[in-house]
Amino acid sequence: PPDVHSLAAAEEAIELADRYLICDGFPLDESQKFTLRAALGERADGSWAAATVGDFEPRQNGKNETCAARELAGLVLFVERLQIHTAHEFPTANESFLRMVSVFENWDDLRRRVARIRYANGEQGIEFVSGQRLKYKARTGGAGRGFAKADLLVYDEAQLAQVEHLAASGPARLANPNSQAWFMGSG
């Protein structure tokens, strides 16, 4: 995107993801690093140069790990208060949730930051001692309602997103001038 002043946030996110082996025990590949650098460039005022990010690739090409790296950086480095990860179907959202839970359970320093992990159906999420939250939802016409000032909204399986789903979750970003929306999918 235009107006990129710094890639420091992207480089820190890449280092963090590689430190915690977010890619099932492996470092990020060059394609994943490229996506993070494109997505996490900052303007001179510290705001994101890209408010909207699209990552569409063939299936099983690492976009979920790239997104997990972004979410982890949002919680640990950027101190984002609210992230919402949505998917077209509950099993997909739950799979992303379980992957992230394993990262927090496998590292003592990350585990100490967690106040609770919610496993209840429809309430999946990780809550930090600081009050930060990462919520996982299946997309419905009302799945995003009631959330304000989201720092990050992820649309996994975005190729299946419907207008009413976007309309329901879009207002969660309106109160936050430096939020990002990530659209991920496969062709």
Spatial CA neighbour of 9 closest among 50, 62, 52: 50
pLDDT bin (cut points 50, 70, 90) of residue 57 is confident
List Cβ neighbours of 33 (8 Å cut-off, separation of 6 or more).
14
List Cβ neighbours of 60 (8 Å cut-off, separation of 6 or more).
none
pLDDT over threshold 70, residue 172: no
In which element (H, E) is residue 167 found? helix 163-169
pLDDT over threshold 80, residue 10: yes
How many angstroms separate the CA atoms of 160 and 139, rounded?
Answer: 10
Give the per-residue pLDDT at 42: 97
Q: What are residue 117's DSSP bridge partners?
A: 126
